[in-house]
């Protein structure tokens, strides 16, 4: 059994609640879109009942939550649903009811997180789109509301939900058939950051003659993407990206990059698959540096309502575009296996990655041989938490062990195979504003311990960013 947002205890028609509108088609409200559409849920309550919860009929907490919700006591309903979750109940139906409870209590970001997770569950996908439209409307983001209602309308799983989405679009002054007017082709973001880097050159400051190379920098990024065909279920998407990092004093370390990526989205049984390729042009100190052409395969499979297995393989051909760096020419393979957990307003991700490099390295008559072909093992854990409907934090920890394929030739005829142990910790907090603006602060610390003293270093980076999303 499910309960729907705002369902009244008395019987009434959707028109009873829609009379608060002025009937205009310019999207202005005299009433409340949420009240109108919530009342319309009476039309689909019977259909959704059949989806039901997979919990046993004697699941006291879940049933108590439904009873509390039917009485309009959503705080108590939330408490019961969370108890059911802690007791081991983990179904899409429970997630849906948790999301609705948060919605009714005005905790829209928590509700949004849960509804987003239900867009991957086929039987809940269309209803999740519709509720995400209600949330966007509550947050006064008309464009996002239109986009979600359009998705709900295009999904034909339930004609009743489709009719509700059509009505919502009409009252926002939009025709569901004129998708191109409300679904802009290009979507992306622009971000600008002011950063402080304590060790730009990544050198050991304890070595005689090496000074602390700290500096401030401006970091600007932009990404834009569009669907060439279909959608995330079955389609082809192209994206373009650019990044520019400029230091105030150490301009010889300026860095920039241009990126082109094309990905095919599809399904293979229970697996969601992305296959594609990318082209990166990288510049260093204002000059050409290297070109990276990659083939990328990613797959993911839902193991349960809150657990997802993720696999990835990436093959890259790296070519120096300046002869000075031709020792970096070669191949890189990356193998990754990871898990994602999502519950309530929390999301965590863990993965292991193996990097195998086969580079040209440096061999010459003057300079000794130096290996630039490491085999790397990486363990990483990342967690996201919603502190409120506007604030979010992220914690990230990564450990990486690198062992280079061949020994380096040092002075005095000594050979040494380089090995590095690297630990990186970072924390980020962000706040969303209206009109798709976001401000964030981030701090990261890196410690690299190498058997080659010059390659051991500590680094701290602090960054303050402002970003704007467009769609």
The interaxial angle of helices 122-138 and 142-154, nearest 10 deg, is 160
Chain Cα centroid distance, residue 64: 34
For residue 242, pLDDT beyond 90: yes
pLDDT digits (tens, 9 = 90+) for 128-171: 999 999 998 888 888 888 889 988 888 878 889 989 998 999 88
User: Higher model confidence: residue 363 or residue 366?
Assistant: 363
Dihedral class, residue 357 (left if φ above 0, else alpha if ψ from -120 to 50, else beta): beta
User: Was domain 14-182 assigned CATH 1.25.40.10?
Assistant: yes
pLDDT at 324 over 70: yes
For residue 13, what pLDDT band results from cuts at 50, 70 and 90?
Answer: very low
pLDDT score for 28? 37
pLDDT class for 93, splitting at 50, 70, 90?
confident
Q: What are the extents of the domains in the chain?
A: 14-182, 187-470
Spatial separation of the C-alpha atoms in residues 210 and 213, rounded to whole Å? 8
Position 311 pLDDT exceeds 60: yes
Residue pair 355/375 in contact (Cβ under 8 Å)? The answer is yes
Give the pLDDT mean for 59-81: 87
Instruction: Give me the sign of the Cα torsion angle 44, 304, 155, 78.
Output: positive
Is domain 187-470 classified as CATH 1.10.10.10?
no
Instruction: Let me know: does 421 contact 456? Beta carbons within 8 Å.
Output: no
Higher confidence at residue 367 or residue 23? 367
What value does the mean pLDDT take over residues 270-277? 93
pLDDT category of residue 177 using cuts at 50, 70 and 90: low
Q: What is the 3-state secondary structure (H, E, C) of the chain?
A: CCCCCCCCCCCCCHHHHHCCCCCCCCCCCCCCHHHHHHHHHHHCHHHHHCCCCCCCCCCHHHHHHHHHHHCCCHHHHHHHHHHHHHCCCCCHHHHHHHHHHHHHCCCHHHHHHHHHHHCCCHHHHHHHHHHHHHHHHHCCCHHHHHHHHHHHHHCCCCHHHHHHHHHHHHHCCCCCCCHHHHCCCCEEEEEEEEEEECCCCCCCCCCCCCCCCCEEEEEEEEEEEEEEEECCCCEEEEEEEEEEEEECCCHHHCEEEEEEEEEEEEEECCEEEEEEEEEEEEEECCEEEEEEEEEEEEEEEECCCCEEEEEEEEEEEEEECCHHHHHHCEEEEEEEEEEEEEECCEEEEEEEEEEEEEECCECCCCCCCECCCEEEEEEEEEEEEECCCCEEEEEEEEEEEEEECCCEECHHHCEECCEEEEEEEEEEEEEEEHHHEEEEEEEEEEEEEECCHHHCEEEEEEEEEEEEEEC
Predicted local confidence at residue 356, as pLDDT: 98
The answer to whether residues 332 and 356 touch, using CB atoms and an 8 Å cutoff, is yes
pTM of the model: 0.67
- Grade residue 459 by pLDDT with cuts at 50, 70 and 90: very high
Angle, alpha carbons 375-381-385 (nearest 5°): 155
CA atoms within 13 A on the CB side of 228: 9
Q: What is the mean pLDDT of the chain?
A: 83
Q: How far is residue 417 CA from its own chain's centroid?
A: 38
Quote the pLDDT of residue 233. 75
Separation of alpha carbons 213 and 332, rounded Å: 30
pLDDT in tens, 42-58: 333 333 433 443 434 33
> In the prediction, which pLDDT does 205 show?
78
| pLDDT tens figures, 377-433 | 999 999 998 887 778 999 999 999 999 999 988 877 788 999 999 999 999 999 988
């Amino acid at each position: 059994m499910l309960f729907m947002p705002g369902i009244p205890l008395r019987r009434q028609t959707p028109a009873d609640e829609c009379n608060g509108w002025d009937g205009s088609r310019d999207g202005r409200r005299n009433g409340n879109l949420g009240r109108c559409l919530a009342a319309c849920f009476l039309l689909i309550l019977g259909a959704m009942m059949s989806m039901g919860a997979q919990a046993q009929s004697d699941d006291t907490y879940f049933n108590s939550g439904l009873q509390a919700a039917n009485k309009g006591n959503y705080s108590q309903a939330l408490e019961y649903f969370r108890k059911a979750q802690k007791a081991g109940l983990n179904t899409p139906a429970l997630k849906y009811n948790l999301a609705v409870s948060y919605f009714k209590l005005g905790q829209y970001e928590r509700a949004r997180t849960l509804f987003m997770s239900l867009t991957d569950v086929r039987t809940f996908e269309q209803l999740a789109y519709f509720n995400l439209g209600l949330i966007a409307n509550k947050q006064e983001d008309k464009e996002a509301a239109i986009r979600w209602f359009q998705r709900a309308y295009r999904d034909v799983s339930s004609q009743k939900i489709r009719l509700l989405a059509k009505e919502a679009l009409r009252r926002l002054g939009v025709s569901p058939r004129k998708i191109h007017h409300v679904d802009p082709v290009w979507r992306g973001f622009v971000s600008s950051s002011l950063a402080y880097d304590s060790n730009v050159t990544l050198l050991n400051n304890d070595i005689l003659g090496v000074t602390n190379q700290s500096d401030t920098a401006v970091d600007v990024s932009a990404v834009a993407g569009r669907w060439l065909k279909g959608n995330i279920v079955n389609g082809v998407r192209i994206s373009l990206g650019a990044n520019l990092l400029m230091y105030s004093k150490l301009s010889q370390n300026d860095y920039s990059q241009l990126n082109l990526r094309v990905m095919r989205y599809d399904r293979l049984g229970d697996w969601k698959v992305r296959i594609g390729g990318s082209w990166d042009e990288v510049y260093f100190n204002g000059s050409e540096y290297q070109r990276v052409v990659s083939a990328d395969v990613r797959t993911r499979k839902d193991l349960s309502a809150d657990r997802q297995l993720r696999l990835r393989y990436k093959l890259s051909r790296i070519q120096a575009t300046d002869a000075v760096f031709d020792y970096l020419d070669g191949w890189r393979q990356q193998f990754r296996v990871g898990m994602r957990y999502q519950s309530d307003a929390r999301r965590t991700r863990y993965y292991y990655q193996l990097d195998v490099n086969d580079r040209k390295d440096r061999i010459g008559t003057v300079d000794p041989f130096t290996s630039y072909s490491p085999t790397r093992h990486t363990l990483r854990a990342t967690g996201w938490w919603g502190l409120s409907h506007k604030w979010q934090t992220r914690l990230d920890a990564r450990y990486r062990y690198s062992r280079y394929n061949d020994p380096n030739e040092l002075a005095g005829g000594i050979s040494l195979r380089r090995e590095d142990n690297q630990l990186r910790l970072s924390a980020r907090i962000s706040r969303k504003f209206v009109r798709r603006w976001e401000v964030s602060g981030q701090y990261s610390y890196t410690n690299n311990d190498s058997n080659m003293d010059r390659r051991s270093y500590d680094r701290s980076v602090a960054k303050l960013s402002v970003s704007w999303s467009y769609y």
